[in-house]
Amino acid sequence: MAKSANQKLRIIRLMDYLRRNTDENHTVSVAKITDYLDSIDISSERKTIYDDINLLRFYGEDIVLNRGKNGGYYCASHEFDLSEIKLLVDSVQSSKFIPEKKSIHLISKLEGLTNIYEASQLQRQVFVTNRVKSMRESVFNNVDYISAAINDDKAISYKYFTYDLKKSSVYKHGGSPYLVSPFALIMDDENYYLLGYDHEAGAMKHFRVDKMDRISITETPREGKKEFEKIDMSQYNVKIFGMYSGREEIVKIRFRNTLVGVVIDRFGKNITVVPDGEDHFTISVKAQISPQFYAWVFGFADDCEIISPESVRDEYLKQIKKTSKLYKKKG
């Protein structure tokens, strides 16, 4: 039998065909497999197909023979379950830092992890258009640079920007580049942040990865390792509100009982909940005091009250009065 140039790819093509085109409800016969291979210029015989399937099974492929009149072979399992791929798709399409074009590209790759029948179910749940998405593709390059710099123990240099009223990019720091030692990448409120040591300020800071521009890895060794070692990363996102840092305090807060689920969602199940009368409970938690912390508390209106320390309570009341005066002036 004359072999085509594709003949050596036969078993790989067979594996790909079964993975992409079969499941428990969609089986294929040996004759159909032979027809497929013939269509891509790979000759085969029934015995060859049986031998190849046995080899794939030995390799670990979960290929099952469904016996019966309309039976045939099918791939019974994949590396990822449909529910797992759906979870990944949901994460991609809901992430604000991933641009729309990149989201669609990534989701199409995720579809390749399952067969064509399950992939069609994924396609029906893809709703990327008109979502609030990052406009910058460079975020992925930035992540690569940051990860490489962490591995190489080097500082990075970049410009950092914000937007003006014309929606144009405006560089901060007078347009001069920042020199920062990167230590961790953090997801918060659907945004990607770099936690790094600012060499000029001599302090740990957060930077939005999608607002970093002209990033490069320097030859400067990383600084701030002792400062980073003081941070408990397992509790970091609990203390920080909206990536706004501030002085750290142990704050006692009183909530109405109906908010216990919200408190657990924010601080985790390890938080100690202390009953306070029939309708309320209190917690004591480490938090970094910032405008975003006060905004979080204010969102619960009279169902939430800062009990202590007195300095945090007073600062919160001053902020409320200041805001109230602003609205009275405008009224």
Q: Residue 134 falls within a domain, yes or no?
A: no
Residue 76 contacts residue 64 (beta carbons within 8 Å): yes
Tens of pLDDT, residue by residue over 153-206, are 999 999 998 877 676 888 988 999 999 999 988 877 667 888 899 999 999 888
Q: Are residues 149 and 193 in the same domain?
A: yes
Helix (H, G, I), strand (E, B) or coil at 224: coil
Q: Residue 131 falls within a domain, yes or no?
A: no
pLDDT recorded at residue 235: 61
Q: Are residues 247 and 325 in the same domain?
A: yes
Asked if the peptide bond before residue 309 counts as cis, ω within 30 degrees of 0, the response is yes
Tens of pLDDT, residue by residue over 203-262, are 988 898 888 999 999 999 999 999 998 887 766 655 555 455 667 888 999 999 988 888
Q: Are residues 194 and 143 in the same domain?
A: yes
Q: Residue 304 falls within a domain, yes or no?
A: yes
Q: Are residues 213 and 258 in the same domain?
A: no
Q: Are residues 103 and 52 in the same domain?
A: no
Q: Are residues 204 and 245 in the same domain?
A: no
Helix (H, G, I), strand (E, B) or coil at 76: coil
Q: Residue 132 falls within a domain, yes or no?
A: no
Rounded mean pLDDT of 109-117?
87
pTM, full prediction: 0.57
Among 222, 228, 196, which Cα is nearest to 209's? 196
Q: How many domains does the chain have?
A: 4
CATH of the domain at 220: 2.30.30
Q: Are residues 261 and 297 in the same domain?
A: yes
Give the strand pairing for 203-208 and 191-198.
Answer: antiparallel
What region, left, alpha or beta, does residue 277 occupy, with left being phi > 0 and alpha being psi -120 to 50 degrees? left
CATH of the domain at 23: 1.10.10.10
Burial class (CB in 10 A: 0-12, 13-18, 19+), 186: middle
Question: Which alpha helices (H) appear in the chain, and where do they start and end?
Answer: 10-21, 30-39, 46-59, 82-94, 100-111, 116-124, 139-152, 225-229, 233-239, 260-267, 291-298, 310-330
Q: Residue 133 falls within a domain, yes or no?
A: no
pLDDT recorded at residue 112: 87
Q: Which domain holds residue 281?
A: 234-330
Q: Are residues 238 and 321 in the same domain?
A: yes
Q: What is the mean pLDDT of the chain?
A: 84
